Amino acid sequence: MAWFMIDPSNEKEIGAIAHGPVLLARVEGVTVGLRSIMAYSAGLEVAVTVVGSGIHAEAMRRQYTAPAVIDPETGKRSHGQVHGRPMRLRALEDSILQPVPRSDNRGWYNSQDLYQREYLYEVTGLPQTRNLPLIAEWPEEPVTTHLVLPDPSELAAAIIPLP
């Protein structure tokens, strides 16, 4: 599944793979997985998937299926009330490496017992460190995963430009 590739960070680069798939968190009923980290000269693109089962699937479904409300003055539709705490991904105590949400999508699997959602984050600028400690928060206590990226100069050199 490559839904995130329809909105690349930089249309002049193919990019480089900075990190491959890894589990970020797994607790009963919830799995948070890193699909990939792509590097571009402008920064990193972090693709994450979250799968909830049982009551957690229902909690995720409620969170993203809030009914639209009609503004009585303008007549325009707006999102209804969000239920529950949203999935959050952040870097451990590092203001520069903080992933910023860019988009999310329902993903490819939604049944009575399972719900999967895809998230895409951006980190502005290529990191000048090999260490990227990511913290996944949903719905339980935060779980930290220390990722090791390629050497910064090697990562920058591996970015493939388009003609």
Q: Does some domain include residue 1?
A: no
The pLDDT value recorded for residue 6 is 37
**Residue 160 covered by a domain:** no
pLDDT of residue 104: 59
Rounded Cα gap, residues 150 and 20, in angstroms = 11
49 within some domain: yes
CATH number of the structural domain spanning residue 39 = 2.60.40
Q: Could you tell me if residue 144 is inside a domain?
A: yes
- What are the 10-residue block averages of pLDDT along the chain, 163 residues in total? 43 91 91 94 90 85 62 66 63 70 64 84 90 82 91 97 88
Compute the mean pLDDT over every residue in the chain, rounded to the nearest whole number.
Answer: 79
Give the structural domain span for 122.
14-154
Tokens describing residue 105 = 């999508």
Q: Which residue's entry shows tokens 């984050």?
A: 121
Within-domain flag for 3: no
Q: Which residues are registered as beta bridge partners of 49? A: 33, 118
* pLDDT score recorded for residue 91: 77
pLDDT reported for residue 1:
32
Tokens of 107: 């993903």
Instruction: Flag whether 125 is in a domain.
Output: yes
In the chain, the amino acid numbered 139 is P
pLDDT at 65: 56
**Helix or strand or coil: residue 133?**
strand
Res 153: pLDDT = 97
Domain count, the chain: 1
CA atoms of 132 and 138, how far apart (whole Å): 19
Per-residue model confidence (pLDDT) at position 149: 96
pLDDT for residue 4: 41
The pLDDT of residue 5 is 41
Calculate ∠ Cα 129-130-132, nearest 5°: 90
Token pair listed for 117: 């959602």
Single out the residue of 34, 64, 37, 38 nearest to residue 49, CA to CA. Answer: 34
pTM (2 d.p.): 0.76
Classify residue 163: in a domain, yes or no: no
Determine the pLDDT at residue 131.
Answer: 92
- List, for residues 60-78, the tens digit of each pLDDT value: 777 665 555 666 777 766 6
- Does residue 101 contact residue 118 with C-beta atoms inside 8 Å? no
The dihedrals phi and psi of 130, each to the nearest 5 degrees, come to -90, -15
